[in-house]
Structure 1
Amino acid sequence: MTIRVAIAGPRGKMGKEAVHTVMKAENMELVAVLDHREIASNLVDYQEFPEQYDVRVYTNLNTLIEEMKPEVFVDLTTPKAVYAHTKTLLQYKVRPVIGTTGFTDEQLEEVTQLARENETGAIIAPNFAVGAVLMMKFAAEAAKYMPDVEIIELHHDQKLDAPSGTGVKTAQLIAANRPAHKQGHPDEHETIPGSRGGDIDGMRIHSVRLQGLVAHQEVLFGGEGQMLTIRHDSYNRQSFMSGVKLCIEKVVTLDTLVYGLENLL
């Protein structure tokens, strides 16, 4: 079976990689892309893509869905846009694969309920890299035995949200295996506000944003006389594409929303 796929944000770094991934996949057909700017009506007219990429470009999501009837829609754009896109897709019973982080708990609950009501599969993955998912699973397991933990996530300087979705997801998985408690000295005082990072159930998350980075995270567990470090590094965006491909293949078998790639492995 060939899966009809559409992609949002084809000129973005992640979107561009996703276009190449779907075009190369034997079991997928890229039927359309969604761009927020009207540049050209076909990908062949974009300088980023080769002349054999004969794919329609739309600037209106509803028109794209009605005319091209995709089964799966991959959205790797901005948190503000992807929330509205996800609701529209589910109302049309098009299956979203979302790689953008930044959903609030309320938004996540809303789209989960919408997917359930429409019996339409959806996947929201804070990180598509399989290694990053394993890092999160290993960290959750380690927290059973070493409950004092801090997370350092490092990304490129154009990332909009902090902490990252991966950092938040890691903290949530750890929190399920770790009793909430304040870490550090009880009389600890920040002479510069924010120095100790964000606080989730007493564990700290630190966000680094610098040129030259892609996506990196380390989880530090401290114990008496020892430290355990679990780290993952994505050196390029190709590292996320095996996860994108897996999600496209899996979402067509779902009738509800799945949050996190770890639930598909």
Structure 2
Amino acid sequence: MIKVIVNGAKGKMGQEVVKAIQKEADLALVGQTDLGDDLAKAIKSTQAEVVVDFTHPRSVMENVRTILENGAHGVIGTTGLTKENLEEIKKLCEKNKVSCLVAPNFAIGAVLMMQFAKEAIKYFPQAEIIEMHHESKADKPSGTALKTMEAMGKEVPIHSVRLPGLVAHQEVIFGGLGQTLTIRHDSLSRESFMPGVMLAIRKVKTLNGLVYGLEKIL
């Protein structure tokens, strides 16, 4: 039984993660924390092994420091982390002998979209990314778009759309002589992320330090 705390439990993603964990026989939800709660105290009092964080780009690094410095492993779905942030997380993992999985997107289909885009760019060097999310998403461009561009190995234009009615959607459009190719993924509900989050919770303790991207554990 893996003891898990969900940080950001009052948010839409946090609520979905709470429900998903409660359905899993091998996972124990030992805490639900949010803004204003003492995360360090919660980790110590529950002896949580894993903390899942879906909070806000402004607070995510403080949360990660608290998680790792208190001996828990991290599953981080909050986006907006910089390369400097990732380097700090790597050092924190080494110092505290814990591991941390950071994933811009936990949907299996989104991971496949990135892999397909990585292949397509070899044959269609001109491409652009359109990422579309709900109006309350704090960061732009999205972590998924940035991770896709990283996988493609070159800078391409990224267009961000924030509108009511959207959840999480992305198109990678490639243009060539007399043809175009579009690779698209749509998350129609937040349930689409749950299999990836559950997999990350189960795998994170076996990882070595920082792992960036869900594709690394598939």
TM-score surpassing 0.5?
A: yes
Q: 1:215 aligns with which of 164, 168, 185?
A: 168
Residue 123 of structure 1 deviates from its aligned partner by 0.4
* Distance of 1:30 and 1:93 partners within structure 2: 17
Q: 1:107 aligns with which of 70, 76, 85?
A: 85
Show the counterpart of 1:227: 180
More helix by share: 2
Q: 2:150 aligns with which of 172, 197, 213?
A: 172
Show the counterpart of 1:120: 98
| Helix, strand or coil at the partner of 1:79 | coil
Residue 91 of structure 1 deviates from its aligned partner by 1.3
* Distance of 2:204 and 2:34 partners within structure 1: 23
Which amino acid counterpart does residue 154 of structure 1 have in structure 2? M
| Helix, strand or coil at the partner of 2:87 | helix
Q: 1:253 aligns with which of 202, 206, 209?
A: 206
| Helix, strand or coil at the partner of 1:211 | coil
* Distance of 2:91 and 2:120 partners within structure 1: 32
Show the counterpart of 1:264: 217
Show the counterpart of 1:5: 4
Show the counterpart of 1:135: 113
Q: Which runs of 4+ in 1 moved over 2 A?
A: 116-119
Which amino acid counterpart does residue 66 of structure 2 have in structure 1? T
Aligned length: 218
TM-score, length basis structure 2: 0.97
* Distance of 2:113 and 2:192 partners within structure 1: 14
Percent identity over paired residues: 52
| Helix, strand or coil at the partner of 2:157 | strand
Query: Is residue 2:191 matched to residue 1:241?
Result: no
* Distance of 1:124 and 1:94 partners within structure 2: 14
Residue 34 of structure 1 deviates from its aligned partner by 0.8
Query: Is residue 2:43 matched to residue 1:35?
Result: no
Deviates more, 1:118-127 or 1:226-235: 118-127
The unaligned stretches of length 5 or more in structure 2 are none
Aligned-residue RMSD, C-alpha: 1.0
Residue 221 of structure 1 deviates from its aligned partner by 0.6
